[in-house]
Structure 1
Amino acid sequence: MRIVFAIILMWSAMPAAAADLTVRIGNLRSAEGQLLVAVCEEAQFTKPGCAYTGQAPASGGVVTVRDVPPGTYAIQAIHDENGNGTLDRRLMFLPLEGIGFSRNAPMRRGPPRFADAAVEIQGDGVVSFDMAYFQE
C-alpha cells in the first residue's frame, strides 16, 4: 500500500507534459495564403520570437501548434494572404492583412494587452477566435 501511495505522490508531482494546441480561426476574408500563429508568453506577446508557432493553409481555418507546455499564453494570428511570411502594413502601422488574438481581444489604438488575450493551456486543447481586417 505504501508503494502505491508513493507512486501516486511521485506521479502527481510530475509536471504536465507539453501537448498540441488546435487554433481555429473564423471570419477569414479569403482562403488565399497562410495562417501564421504564435502562442506567446507575456514577455514575447506582439513581438517576434514566440517559442511556440505553427502555420497552415488559410483554406482550412485551423492551425496546430505542437508541444505547448501548460501555462498562461496569449495567441496571435496573421492571415498572410500574399504568402510573404510577414504582416503587411500601410503607413508602417495599419495592417493590410488579417490579424487576430485569442479571446477576440480588442485592438484599441494598437495591439491588445496580454491580460485581455490570455488563455490557460493545460494539455491538448482548442482555442477559437476571429480574424479582424482593417479597411484598405
Structure 2
Amino acid sequence: MKRILGLALIAIAGTAGAATLNVTIDNIPDAQGNIRIALCSHADFLRPTCQYTAQTPARSGSVQLALNDVAPGTYALQAFQDRNGNRKLDRSFIGMPQEPLGFSRDPKLRFGPPDFDQADIAVTPAGGAITVHLITH
C-alpha cells in the first residue's frame, strides 16, 4: 500500500508546475484541412520530434488550441495549415512552403525558416497565451 501511495505522489509531483499554453492561430485563409501546431525545444525545433503537438480542423479566420501539461521552459511554436492531410508541410521543388505557416513571435521569413532565437517564448508554471499569424508564399 505504501508503494502505491508513493508512486501516486511521484506522479502528482511530476505534473506539478506543468502549464497550459493557449494558442490562437490567426490569418487562416480557408477551411481546407487541419491546423497543426508543435511546441518545440531548441533541440527539436523544425523537426518532427517536438514533444507538444495539437491539431484541429481549419476554419477561415482563426482557431484556438491548447497544449496541456507543458513543462516550464523556453520553446518555439511552429504552425501550418495541412491542406491535404499528409501531416507535413508541402514544399515546392525549390523548397518554398506551399501551405500557410507561422511561428511564435511572428518572425519575418526571408530565405528559410527562422532561427530558434527569433521564435523563442518562455512558458512559465502559470502557462499563458500566444497568437501566431499564418503567412502564405
Task: Report the counterpart of residue 131 of structure 1 in structure 2.
Answer: 134
Query: Contact 2:19–2:127 at 8 Å: present in 1 too?
Result: yes
TM-score where L is the length of structure 1:
0.82
Task: Report the counterpart of residue 25 of structure 2 in structure 1.
Answer: 25
Task: Report the counterpart of residue 44 of structure 1 in structure 2.
Answer: 44
1:54-65 alignment runs, 5 A limit:
54-59=54-59, 61-65=63-67
Instruction: Report the aligned-residue RMSD.
Output: 1.8
Q: More helix per residue: 1 or 2? A: 1
Task: Report the counterpart of residue 72 of structure 2 in structure 1.
Answer: 70
Task: Report the counterpart of residue 90 of structure 1 in structure 2.
Answer: 92
The aligned length equals: 121
Task: Report the counterpart of residue 8 of structure 2 in structure 1.
Answer: none
What code does the residue aligned with 2:57 have? P
Larger radius of gyration: 1
User: Any stretches of 5+ residues in structure 1 without a counterpart?
Assistant: 1-14
TM-score where L is the length of structure 2:
0.81
Cα distance, 1:108 vs structure 2: 1.8
Percent of residue pairs identical: 41
